Amino acid sequence: MRTRISADLVRGEFVVQIETISGENLLACNQCGKCSAGCPVAFSMDLLPSQVLRLAQLGIEEMLGSQTIWTCASCLTCVARCPKGIDLPRIMEALRQITMERGGNCLEVDQVSPEMMGEMPQLALIGGFRKFTT
Amino acid sequence: MKFAYFPGCTLSTKAVGYDVSGRAVAAALDMTFEELPDWQCCGATFPLATNNTMALIAPTRMLTRAQEADNHVTTLCAICYHVLKRTQVFLERDPEALERINWFTEEPYAGQARVSHFLELLRDELGWEALAERVTHPLTGIKVAPYYGCLLLRPENEIGLDDADEPRILHDCLAALGCEVVDFPYKVECCGSYLAVNKPELPEKLSQEIVGSARRHGAQAIVTACPLCQFNLDYPQRPGGAKGAPAGDELPVLYFTQLMAVALGLKEDVWGMEGHYVDPSPLFDDRD
């Protein structure tokens, strides 16, 4: 995929929106990659956490189609390791909110198998549906 | 001593064994839990967006109930603890947010309630030596791997229960019970948390790695303080589970309060070991 970058996008509305919702400064990230190195679910991501952050810095909205934002479990390992004090799960949360504001819920009740619905602890259901629905 | 206790949704239902054993152990140690009146679910996630007012209302109400009960609430569930503690820290640091929420709830939360995890009370109010002295049936020879997961410890600058990379609190608790404590490298790795809802294959994979590592380090059981960690590690090992361990290689996943109940010589009906997918009872078969 050819990616066009521009100063307009870097200073654009999308970046402002992410920074407003997350409360984080995207340009603080210098792409050291510690978040991706330590992320326990990075093996299953289509974009690494540091790549999501890089595309967010550049204001590339196509990144919202990535599965990574729905794969982050907010385990805060990256927060513990980031040398710049960036709270990446807050940025993931902002990206989920922006996506769901545009396109609706990412998860519907009938997508959870009846077996899991019966077995899962209540806090997983509450937590999951709070994260993946508007 | 008496402590106001917030059970939370999961300990009242799925993880009732944690609740039953926890209350019994606390009472046996003269640290009796008194259930917080009129409690409701804490919300199960701490809101990460700046527009967090709505999500903070439920945990703030619980902090207000705590304020009415000696200004202190204790929990067993690591996630309730995480949500209540971070809400407390956030509101203490942000008086404007506190005022906004109080305006909505029409309750005067002052921002100062203490939120503790029961492990913290055992360490700081009772002490490990005093706990060891109360043990009547030491768990000598049982090799257990303490597993902390994420939310009991992180973020360290808000939770502050223990060192987030090299925690000791669960190790020390289990050592006081006479267990042989097995340190393993996955002790603070994520179990997959609520991804059990949208991507159940991920917690299954993480569980295999965590349980496999504990087994390779010689553990006979994994011990946790979180009902979601317990489920995510235990459920994939269920009989007939697609990703389960080879038969006979399963590791039971216990709550620390269950081991305490055994070690303190409490009656078996408060061990709360019925709801497990991998039956932990063979661990205690040879004991009286």
Chain A residues close to B242, C-beta within 8 Å: none
Got the DSSP string for B254-275? EEHHHHHHHHTT--GGGS--SS
**B10 in helix, strand or coil?**
coil
Its domain, for residue B56, covers 2-118
Residues B30 and B167 both lie in one domain: no
What does each of the 134 residues of chain A score in pLDDT, given as a tens digit? 677 889 999 999 999 999 999 999 999 999 999 999 999 999 999 999 999 999 999 999 999 999 999 999 999 999 999 999 999 999 999 999 999 999 988 999 999 999 999 999 999 999 999 999 98
Same domain, residue pair B93 and B143:
no
User: CA of A94, closest CA in chain B: separation in Å?
Assistant: 6
So what's the architecture of A7-103 in CATH?
Orthogonal Bundle (1.10)
Q: Assess whether pLDDT exceeds 70 at residue B246.
A: no
Residues 189-228 of chain B whose Cβ lies under 8 A from any Cβ of chain A: 189-190, 192-200, 202, 205-206, 227-228
Averaged over B133-152, what is the pLDDT?
97
Question: Domain with B45 in it: what CATH number?
Answer: 1.20.1050.140
Q: Are residues B83 and B144 in the same domain?
A: no
Q: Are residues B14 and A112, on separate chains, in Cβ contact within 8 Å? A: no
B9 plus B71 within the same structural domain? yes
Residues B215 and B198 in one domain: yes
Report the residue of chain B nearest A72, measured CA to CA. Answer: B195
User: Among all residues of chain A, which has the CA nearest to that of B193?
Assistant: A73
Q: How many domains does chain B have?
A: 2
Quote the minimal CA–CA distance from B35 to chain A in Å.
19
Domain extents in chain A = 7-103, 106-134
Q: Is the pLDDT of residue B278 over 60?
A: yes
pLDDT tens digits, residue range B212-221? 999 999 999 9
B57 at A interface, C-beta within 8 A: no
Contact (CB<8Å) B154/A80 = yes
Q: Is the dihedral of CA B196, B199, B204, B207 positive or negative?
A: negative
Q: Tell if the CB–CB gap between B155 and A79 is shorter than 8 Å.
A: yes
Q: B138 and B105 in one domain?
A: no
pTM of the model as a whole: 0.97
Assess whether pLDDT exceeds 70 at residue B240: yes
Residues B176 and B70 in one domain: no
Kindly state whether residues B75 and B131 are assigned to the same domain: no
Contact between A82 and A88 under an 8 Å Cβ cutoff? The reply is: yes
